[in-house]
Amino acid sequence: MRLAFVLLLSTTPALAFDGLYRPDQPWAENWDCQTVGMDGGALAVRDGKFYGVENTCELTNPTAIRGMDGILYDAACTGEGMTETFRMMLMQVEGGLAVIRDGSVNMLRRCG
């Protein structure tokens, strides 16, 4: 029983962000919210991974940010034959998700 509880705790943080998204920009209003990971398709968070355009990031070591609806992750992203590691914060905002990395913030609108 204890192992099941520990596994539940380790997977719960990513579940808060699971869903399909598109950039919250006028130029992305017509993005396809069905196809994940392609240019002009949806971005996704599911099963502890962030799916970007032609890349996938494994999100590990979740750390809740006190007083905010956000979680800081270690991200290992692979795409175009390369792997890059960095810290990434996902934070729920009204209507979507903020993705914060290396001093930049990308606002994503929830598809639906």
Q: Domain limits of the chain? A: 2-110
Q: pTM of the full predicted structure? A: 0.81
8 A C-beta contact, residue 110 and residue 20: yes
In whole angstroms, how far apart are CA 74 and each of 13, 34, 44, 61?
Answer: 13, 27, 17, 6
Partners of residue 31 on adjacent β-strands: none
Residue-level pLDDT at 96: 93
Summarised one tens digit per residue, pLDDT across range 59-89 is 999 999 988 889 999 999 999 889 999 999 9
Q: How confident is the model at residue 12 (pLDDT cuts 50, 70, 90)?
A: very low
Is the predicted pLDDT of residue 22 greater than 80, yes or no? Answer: yes
What's the pLDDT band for 20 if we cut at 50, 70, 90? very high
Q: Which residue has 């196809």 as its token pair?
A: 35
Question: Which has the higher per-residue pLDDT, 6 or 54?
Answer: 54
- How far is residue 15 from each of residues 4, 46, 59, 84, 92, measured CA to CA in Å? 16, 7, 12, 23, 12
For the cut 80, the answer to whether the pLDDT of residue 92 exceeds it is yes
List Cβ neighbours of 40 (8 Å cut-off, separation of 6 or more).
30, 31, 32
The pLDDT value recorded for residue 2 is 37
Query: What backbone torsions phi and psi does residue 20 show, to the nearest 5 degrees?
Result: -105, 140
